Structure 1
């Protein structure tokens, strides 16, 4: 089994899925992550059976999920700030 990352058209990770080793990648799928992965706000991580995972796997899964959630929230904040900046710029242009 291997993990496949499903990307948006803009390259953000939308979901992960576990597939057989002989799985053929579809469009917008990858088995590797970029150096600094960007997660879509609606990112769906793989559901892990906690009872089957060892403590190290559980910790790594929790850290990966926390990182994905943090990055998604940061992207949302960045989008909001960009929108506010665009609105202020447009308002300033009207005042000139």
Structure 2
């Protein structure tokens, strides 16, 4: 079994669903979570340059990457818990 992320036209995650391993992706679906963009306080995108010589920029890049990874893992966990809850609800209704 795999988790498929269903996204809106703009790329935001709309829902997740559990599918068979041989599932063929449909439009606006992905097995991987999209990268989470990072913005400055004035809503300008942060351009990450991991080869930057500036230590402050390197630290910012690492923090943004860690935050994106954490958010992705939290989204995956939330999806798995939602699926488990749905399965328990269905079993309890029988």
TM range (shorter): 0.5 to 0.7
Structure 2 residue runs of 5 or longer lacking an equivalent are: 1-9, 15-31, 38-46
Alpha-carbon separation, structure 2, partners of 1:66 and 1:75: 14
Structure 2 length-normalised TM: 0.53
- Give the Å deviation of 1:58: 0.3
The structural deviation recorded for 1:9 is: 4.3
Aligned positions of 1:58-69 closer than 5 A: 58-69=58-69
Equivalent residue for 1:82? 82
Q: Is the 8 A contact 1:41 1:73 kept in 2?
A: no
Match of 2:49 in 1: 48
In structure 1, list runs of 5 or more residues that go unmatched.
Answer: 1-6, 12-39
Higher relative contact order (CA 8 A, sep 6+): 1
Q: Residues 92, 79 of structure 1: CA spacing in aligned structure 2 closer, same or farther, 3 A cutoff?
A: same
User: How many aligned residue pairs are there?
Assistant: 59
Higher helix share: 1
Q: 1:60 to 1:73 in 2, by over 3 A?
A: same
Distance of aligned partners of 1:47 and 1:60 in 2 relative to their CA distance in 1, 3 Å threshold: closer
RMSD: 2.6
Does the Cα contact within 8 Å between 1:41 and 1:72 map onto a contact in 2? Answer: yes
User: Given the two structures, how large is their TM-score scaled by the length of structure 1?
Assistant: 0.52
Deviation at 1:53, TM superposition (A): 3.4
Question: Stretches of 4+ moved more than 6 A in 1?
Answer: none
